Chains A and B, each alone.
Chain A
Amino acid sequence: DAGITQSPRHKVTETGTPVTLRCHQTENHRYMYWYRQDPGHGLRLIHYSYGVKDTDKGEVSDGYSVSRSKTEDFLLTLESATSSQTSVYFCAISESGGTGSHYGYTFGSGTRLTVV
Chain B
Amino acid sequence: QSVLTQPPSASGTPGQRVTISCSGSNSNIGSNTVTWYQQLPGTAPKLLIYSNDQRPSGVPARFSASLSGTSASLAISGLQPEDEADYYCASRDDSLNGDVLFGGGTKLTVL
> Are A and B part of the same complex?
no
